[in-house]
Amino acid sequence: MESRVPWIPGFARWPHEEESAKRRGKALRERVPRSAHGRPPSGTWRRPPVDAVTDAVAAPADVSTVSPAFGAAVDAVEESNAGRIPELIPLRVGRMAASPFAFLRGSAGLMAADLADAPVTGAGAQICGDAHAANFGLYADARGRLVMDINDFDETVHGPWEWDVKRLATSLVLAGRQAGAAEDVCRAAAYDAVGAYRRTMRLLARLPVLDAWNAVADEELVTHADAHDLLGTIEQVSEKARRNTGAKFAARATEAVGDGGRRFTEAPPVLRRVPDAEAAAVAGALDGYLRTVGEDRLPLLARYAVHDVAHRVVGTGSVGTRSYVVLLLDHLGEPLVLQVKEARASALLAYVAKAGFPNEPVEHEGRRVVLGQKRMQVVSDFLLGWTQIGAVPYQVRQFRNRKGSVDPAALPPGLLDDYGRMTGALLARAHSHSADPRLIAGYCGKSEELDEAVADFAVAYADRTEADHADLLAAIRAGRLPAEVES
């Protein structure tokens, strides 16, 4: 019997074809076998070997004659520096130069350029775009309870789900190498992360939709991912996260002024005061921000007065972008700190289009980041919003909202695979909010073929990243790129 209610766009049609999504996922294997995600043929990546750089740097009499030998990695760093605050570019380069893992963290666009030339399944999701292992962590929900999820969305777009998986797997190999883990341990962490992603997606595909949407609750995560050995580390990080609040930051980074208020104190280069006109522009932009948060939040924000604005450097890939902290105080002088962070176009945008995922024109880059975050996280910062200062778009969020994270490069080797399984499960949960888990589960299947392939890819791309990092160091030594090392 047909429904007497016509089909409404935005909803599914009835009757459901229960197995169609799973069948479509399996059919994708015919076009892109799971083994195709493994180590690519030699020469696939378009960058010259490091040996070409070494000879050029040996006698760097004229940088202009040396620079072509540095290849695409250094070119990409220079291109990504465009539009950033010039005096902060050496700090960004210095942070990326710290290790191959740090280089990966600052070069999401470079990896996307390589992935766009590799096989792509054609199945899309809202992807993080920068799902490396250090971009998972803890933060507080509206009631102050700790939540664990992906926590960086500067590059988020609609794109191939497997790009996030490959970036996570590669980052685990690099983090493990930095920690001194044996090569088989590093590969096992990547392998386990993909396996956890695959198994979690298959679990979600079997559940009723509402159950799947809320499945893999944080309190079940350690058991679900078989990451029991990591429990002590998570508890330590949780204790630090509970103390990592805006109020604690304000107590350390501000000083009292004569009217009973407070203002930020200089701590260059990370925290610096800004001219009055710049501070006024940032504070004035909060009016636009208020129109992007839920109306139920407005009475809360109305109880705070804006006291001061400063510029604060954040992240690795974000260094050099305009990022402000805004100090607000309530009637008791208790602080709330908001971060107003420049939202640049996603570094992945051109590459996801090349891979067959053209995104709709972006109305506002801050809005893109916020909506992408809300699509992927189970629960998001309840004060998320966006605004604009002149022609520059910004995202707005709480600063130091009980955030905490595991440093994968500091983990004992025996815990790296546990961390890989946990982050793999979290990534599957995030993707399932925008993609039908039956489709992705149908492609991933029951076997470990995808796990093996992506683990091989991760090792190969970690090698490539180490070569890129060596190119960066050579360019710094030759004087092509300025670098500042933090004390």
Can you give the pLDDT at residue 57? 34
pTM: 0.93
CA 287 from centroid of its chain's CA atoms: 28
* Whether residue 367 sits in one domain with residue 307: yes
How large is the average pLDDT for residues 370-387?
97
* Whether residue 293 sits in one domain with residue 166: no
How large is the average pLDDT for residues 298-314?
97
Domain membership of residue 14 (yes or no) is no
The 10s digit of each residue's pLDDT in 315-355 is 888 899 999 999 999 999 999 999 999 999 999 999 999 99
How large is the average pLDDT for residues 228-244?
95
Domain membership of residue 4 (yes or no) is no
Tell me which of 63-72, 167-176, 454-463 is least confident: 63-72
Q: Is the dihedral of CA 282, 311, 321, 323 positive or negative?
A: negative
* Whether residue 286 sits in one domain with residue 226: no
* Whether residue 263 sits in one domain with residue 230: no
Two tokens, residue 352: 């996801």
Domain membership of residue 8 (yes or no) is no
- The DSSP letter of residue 409 is G
* Whether residue 293 sits in one domain with residue 419: no
Domain membership of residue 259 (yes or no) is yes
Can you give the pLDDT at residue 215? 87
Can you give the pLDDT at residue 236? 96
| Number of domains the chain contains | 2
How large is the average pLDDT for residues 187-209?
97
Q: How far apart are CA 317 and CA 295, in angstroms?
A: 33
Q: How far apart are CA 238 and CA 217, in angstroms?
A: 16
- Name the β-bridge partners of 93: none
* Whether residue 59 sits in one domain with residue 156: yes
> Could you tell me the maximum CA-CA distance found in the chain, to the nearest angstrom?
82
Range of the domain at 158: 22-239+404-477
Can you give the pLDDT at residue 66? 35
The 10s digit of each residue's pLDDT in 154-166 is 999 999 999 999 9
Domain membership of residue 343 (yes or no) is yes
Domain membership of residue 1 (yes or no) is no
* Whether residue 335 sits in one domain with residue 253: yes
For the cut 50, the answer to whether the pLDDT of residue 457 exceeds it is: yes
How large is the average pLDDT for residues 406-412?
96
- The DSSP letter of residue 388 is E
For the cut 80, the answer to whether the pLDDT of residue 115 exceeds it is: yes
Using the 3D structure, point to which of 398, 414, 439 is the last residue of a domain: 398
Q: Phi-psi category of 180—alpha, beta or left, where left has phi over 0 and alpha has psi -120 to 50? A: left
Q: What percent of the chain has pLDDT over 70?
A: 93
Domain membership of residue 439 (yes or no) is yes
* Whether residue 368 sits in one domain with residue 307: yes
Q: Are 290 and 301 in contact (CB under 8 A)?
A: yes
For the cut 90, the answer to whether the pLDDT of residue 62 exceeds it is: no
Can you give the pLDDT at residue 49? 39
**Alpha-helix residue ranges (DSSP H) falling in 59-208:** 63-66, 71-80, 89-96, 100-105, 108-115, 161-179, 183-206
* Whether residue 410 sits in one domain with residue 390: no
Using the 3D structure, point to which of 377, 398, 419 is the last residue of a domain: 398
* Whether residue 205 sits in one domain with residue 94: yes
* Whether residue 162 sits in one domain with residue 73: yes
* Whether residue 216 sits in one domain with residue 79: yes
Two tokens, residue 200: 């979690």
Domain membership of residue 10 (yes or no) is no
Can you give the pLDDT at residue 12? 85
- The DSSP letter of residue 150 is E
CA 371 from centroid of its chain's CA atoms: 14
Using the 3D structure, point to which of 367, 398, 429 is the last residue of a domain: 398
Can you give the pLDDT at residue 317? 82
Q: Are 340 and 324 in contact (CB under 8 A)?
A: yes
Average pLDDT along the chain: 92
